[in-house]
Structure 1
């Protein structure tokens, strides 16, 4: 499943993936199948959490935060490796202070895994790619979690 960055709709894409540029079923814009992290605001995050058929890895960050900038390529690599199976979203805490407060963010970068519309894991601080992937997989395999990154 892939989230349209333009309208937020979730789109099923068959395997093998079609050639050319698949379009979003709702807004008909080109659908990004790369798995690259997508920027969201608080409202888009709420919609995604409620309707995502795949687990979400949320990065809570700010542009001035050096560790956040260091984590960006790691998150990009994880998102691309799990394209269609894990949705990586980024929320700028400076631009979305109410959402950051509602999520009880005390430091950045903070990473939160959501599955089935609820939080299943949280941690702060930058991790190497392999450790981040292991942490996400472990969070999704834990009892009570409803998703998995295959």
Structure 2
């Protein structure tokens, strides 16, 4: 088990999308983005991203990135959302969870060959580690990320 008191955690800036590594011991000091100086969102809620931001994030992130391809009208997508939020809070700084609305970002959904929603894709070290079409919740979602 890593020593979380010294391991830096990674947070995505809600303003410029930059990745920021913050030592766990400094989380109570209201850290700001190193690029644009915006206060970092430490709540770790899954953030919406567009095509360009997703590609940059996956390529540059020092921690795994879980991407949720979803649509607002999708019932299973709505059912998965609170589980993703809970996982994001549990793994804040050691796992980034982002969401891509397939209705708004059809180009990236097509390029990633998303044929069903929800589709989850886990990236590690800039490469696709695994993907899952269909809803995963609770323990299944954690097992998907951890395996």
Structural RMSD (CA): 1.0
Residue number in structure 2 paired with 1:10: 19
Q: Does 1:83 align with 2:86?
A: no
Give the length in aligned residue pairs.
138
Matches within 5 A, 1:102-113: 102-113=111-122
Quote how far apart the aligned CAs of 1:18 are: 3.3
Residue number in structure 1 paired with 2:125: 116
Distance 1:15 1:56 in 2: 19
1:17–1:129 distance in 2 versus 1, CA, 3 Å: farther
SS at match of 1:90: strand
Q: What's the TM-score once normalised by structure 1's chain length?
A: 0.89
Matches within 5 A, 1:63-78: 63-78=72-87
Residue number in structure 1 paired with 2:136: 127
Quote how far apart the aligned CAs of 1:20 are: 4.3
1:70-124 CA deviation, whole Å, 9 max, x = no partner?
1110100011100000000100000000100000001000000001111110001
Residue number in structure 2 paired with 1:22: 31
Distance 2:113 2:77 in 1: 17
**Structure 1 consecutive aligned stretches of length 4 or more whose deviation exceeds 3 Å:** none
Q: In structure 2, list runs of 5 or more residues that go unmatched.
A: 1-9
Q: What's the TM-score once normalised by structure 2's chain length?
A: 0.90
